[in-house]
Amino acid sequence: MKKLALHWQIILGMILGVFAGYIAVQFGSGRSFISDWVKPFGTIFINSLKLIAVPLIVASLIKGVSDLKDISKLSSMGGRTIAIYLMTTLFAVTTGLVVVNIIKPGHLIKEETRIALTENYAQDASGKIEIATNQKESGPLQALVDLVPGNIFEALSNNGSMLQVIFFVIFFGIGLILIDPLKAKPVKDFFDALNEVILKMIDLIMLAAPVGVFALMAALVAESPSSDIFKALLGYSATVLLGLSILIFGLYPLLVSSYTGRKIGSFFKGISPAQLLAFSTSSSAATLPVTMERVEEHLGVDKEVTSFVLPIGATINMDGTSLYQAVAAVFIAQAYGLDLDIGTQLGIVATATLASIGTAAVPSAGMVMLVIILGQAGIPEAGLALIFAVDRPLDMCRTVANVTGDATVSMMVGKSLGKLNDPNVKNWDDHYKNK
Does the pTM exceed 0.85?
Answer: no
pLDDT of residue 355: 65
Whole-number CA gyration radius for the chain: 22
Q: Mean pLDDT, the chain, as a whole number? A: 77
How many C-beta atoms surround the C-beta of residue 417 within 10 A?
Answer: 16
Q: What is the pLDDT of residue 238?
A: 92
Answer yes or no: is pLDDT of 347 > 50.
Answer: yes
pLDDT digits (tens, 9 = 90+) for 100-119: 999 988 888 777 766 665 55
- Residue 243: what pLDDT? 94
The string over 217-243, giving b where at least 16 C-beta atoms fall within 10 Å of a residue's C-beta and e elsewhere, is bbbbbbbbbbeebeebbebbbebbbbb
pLDDT value, residue 127? 47
User: Is a pLDDT exceeding 50 seen at residue 430?
Assistant: no
Please say whether the beta carbons of 117 and 343 come within 8 A. no
Handedness of CA 192, 193, 198, 200 (dihedral sign): positive
Give 238-260 pLDDT, tens digit per residue: 999 999 999 999 999 999 999 88
Give the model confidence (pLDDT) of 417-427 as tens digits.
888 876 655 44
What is the sign, positive or negative, of the torsion defined by CA atoms of 166, 169, 174, 177?
Answer: negative
Q: Which residue has the higher pLDDT, 371 or 183?
A: 183
Task: Using the predicted structure, report yes or no on whether residue 203 has a pLDDT greater than 80.
Answer: no
Q: Which domains does the chain have, with CATH numbers?
A: 6-423 (1.10.3860)
Residue 6: what pLDDT? Answer: 66
pLDDT at position 142 over 80:
no
283-314 pLDDT tens trace? 776 677 788 888 888 888 887 788 778 877 77
The pLDDT score that the predictor gives to residue 432 is 40
Mean pLDDT score, 337-352: 78
pLDDT at 411 over 60: yes
